[in-house]
Structure 1
Amino acid sequence: MFSKIAAAAAALLALPLTAAPASAHEVRAEPLRLAAAVDLLPSGAESRDGYQRTSFKHWTDADKDSCTTRAEVLIAESRIEPTVETSCKVTAGEWYSYYDGVTLTTPGGLDIDHMVPLAEAWDSGASTWTPERREAYANDLSADRSLVAVTARSNRSKADQDPADWMPPLLDARCTYTADWVATKLRWQLAVDDRERAALSEMVAGCGQETVDYEQAP
């Protein structure tokens, strides 16, 4: 009897061990060095033919909680508990605009910037998307880098320019901005043209240990 039990135990020990599969949300790649992330960006010529801002439906209320995408970003990025009134109207808080190093306590002076502007996204591949995917892009609350509260002045200075033509006025912000830009383009598989790639590659040299972490959009 003992020998049979021992043999059975030995047989079990000899079986290969298999771990339970992890979910997609549990498996995350290590952040990429900025230079490696830039190399992953697809190349492509840009075209603005047919672009209209209305092609990207934005500031929606996807979860029907009365808070638009703009309000959601303001609430998430306030450094203190924000004041939110009826119908999710955000009236006070504390926001740091990292483009220019300005702190604001009322939201009136803030814009919610699309890290990669809508027109630039159109140029880089979004022109071929469905209206539903463009809406998802314009209201992307699933990635911290996609939307950012910044001063209206800095956002309007940026307009629809890519890093070949515009960088944040605060020098200390430029490496973070470059990583955020690259992460957003990789997340949505948006292309870069030659001038844009050259500008990003030039930034890499001065950005030391900057890394890029992103999840591809569904």
Structure 2
Amino acid sequence: MHRGSAVAIGLASLLMTCGVVALAPAQATTQNAQTLLNSLPVSPEHQGGYDRSLFKHWITQGGCTTRQDVLIRDAVSGSASGCTVVDGLWHSVYDGVTTSNARTFDIDHQVPLKEAWDSGAWRWTPDKRKAFANDLGYANSLIAVSASSNRSKSDQDPAEWLPPNTADTCRYVKAWIGVKYRWRLAVDSLEKSSILQLLRGCPKQMQLPDLA
């Protein structure tokens, strides 16, 4: 997508690319989701020390902020002009809400920042936490959703919260696994058992993300 000129946006999926991202989903390697989950370290969550400011987010990349890049990528219609979308329309897969007002949508971290902290990011450098918070290299890391669904989710894992739109459950839990695998984050035992149970009702394969 060329910045500064209007280009048509087709129906976006979570595997589409935008701006500085250059993924090729059609050629992506796949893996059994349960196998990928089982490869993650299992550990109790780290307690204490989290502050949102420890993850610098919505930085400028390629001329646009991370939020702007995700809104451009996830628009289901409209035209991108610079860092904005003209006549844009967005659909929240979490709850089925559709809007033409991007201000009513949040950019959700698939694995919330606090969850990442508790799962191993407390050991990371500030630069690595910033990279996680602005990850455009894996399409499932960040997603535009309704503000109400994002705030309902808060920092909960799949043992505690799932999208109200049950049609999104399989995508959601696989995206969760993908982000944790990409960043080598741990899962706790209840989190893992809940995801394993959910995977029983899902297609077995998922995209294998590149390690960050």
Compute the TM-score of the two structures, normalised by the length of structure 1: 0.81
Compute the TM-score of the two structures, normalised by the length of structure 2: 0.83
Distance 2:41 2:86 in 1: 41
Q: Secondary structure at the match of 2:67?
A: helix
Q: CA RMSD in A?
A: 1.9
Residue matched to 1:75? 72
Counterpart AA for 2:89:
E
Any idea what the Cα deviations from partners look like across 1:119-146, whole Å, max 9, x if unmatched? 0000000000000000000000111000
* 2:174 pairs with one of 179, 189, 192: 179
Residue 47 (structure 1) aligned with residue 42 (structure 2): no
Residue matched to 1:168? 163
Residue matched to 2:114? 119
Residue pair 1:91, 1:106 contacting (<8 A) in 2 also? no
1:11-50 to 2 correspondences below 5 Å:
30-50=29-49
Quote the offset at 1:76 in angstroms: 1.0
Task: Mark the CA change 1:90 to 1:195 in structure 2 (over 3 Å): closer, same or farther.
Answer: same
Unpaired segments ≥5 residues, structure 2: 1-22
Quote the offset at 1:118 in angstroms: 0.2
Quote the offset at 1:48 in angstroms: 3.3
Quote the offset at 1:81 in angstroms: 2.9
Distance 1:96 1:38 in 2: 28
Distance 1:131 1:92 in 2: 37
Residue matched to 1:59? 58
Larger Rg: 1
Task: Mark the CA change 1:81 to 1:92 in structure 2 (over 3 Å): closer, same or farther.
Answer: closer
**Higher helix proportion:** 1
Residue pair 1:92, 1:107 contacting (<8 A) in 2 also? no
Quote the offset at 1:213 in angstroms: 2.2
Quote the offset at 1:35 in angstroms: 1.4
Residue 133 (structure 1) aligned with residue 120 (structure 2): no
